Amino acid sequence: MYKDLIEEAERKSDNINYLGSIPFDDLTSVYSMSDIGLLAYTKKSNSDMPDKFYDYTAAGLALVNSLKMEVKGVIEKEKLGLQYIDSDAEDLAQKIELLSKDKMKLNEFKANSYSVSNRYHVDLQMRKLIALMETAEQETLFLAKKV
């Protein structure tokens, strides 16, 4: 069923190209042909800052997101893209259509996305997390010595 819908959409538009599962080594070339990175999650998702966020910002893609936690706040604060209602295909389509028609907004989001990629790079975030864990460990050891 979904395959038929995808094939129909591809026939109707020059802008839709369904690639299926993409090998990791091919992602950079796919991102270079893309304008929008989709962060599509259901209400039940427990993802807060998905890895795709880091990939998409490094590629300078505008984001269309359904998550409501930390990533939503970053996208809004940094003006990286649009929020849509999870599991609402019509709202998702409206957001994508809005960006396809408003090239100034699309380009603004893309430029902002690329400019924040170093601040939100996954390696930087991991270094911060490790430093926080090391600090917590040292404080725990200090408190244990006092007891």
Of the candidates 85, 41, 79, the one whose C-alpha atom is nearest the C-alpha of residue 57 is: 79
Rounded Cα gap, residues 34 and 59, in angstroms:
9
* Residue 139 falls inside a structural domain: no
* Residue 108 falls inside a structural domain: yes
> Is residue 144 predicted with pLDDT exceeding 70?
no
Q: Are 49 and 125 in contact (CB under 8 A)?
A: yes
Encode pLDDT of 36-84 as tens digits. 999 999 888 888 888 899 899 999 999 999 999 899 999 999 999 999 9
The pLDDT of 27-44, averaged and rounded, is: 92
Q: What is the mean pLDDT of the chain?
A: 87
* Residue 68 falls inside a structural domain: yes
* Residue 52 falls inside a structural domain: yes
pLDDT for 11: 84
Cβ partners under 8 Å of residue 140, min gap 6? none
Q: Are 112 and 79 in contact (CB under 8 A)?
A: yes
The pLDDT of 16-22, averaged and rounded, is: 81
* Residue 147 falls inside a structural domain: no
* Residue 17 falls inside a structural domain: yes
* Residue 133 falls inside a structural domain: no
The pLDDT of 88-96, averaged and rounded, is: 93
For the chain, how many structural domains are there in total? 1
pLDDT for 147: 61
pLDDT for 141: 65
Single-letter residue type at 53: F
Which structural domain range is residue 70 located in?
A: 2-117
* Residue 12 falls inside a structural domain: yes
- The CATH number that applies at residue 87 is 3.40.50.2000
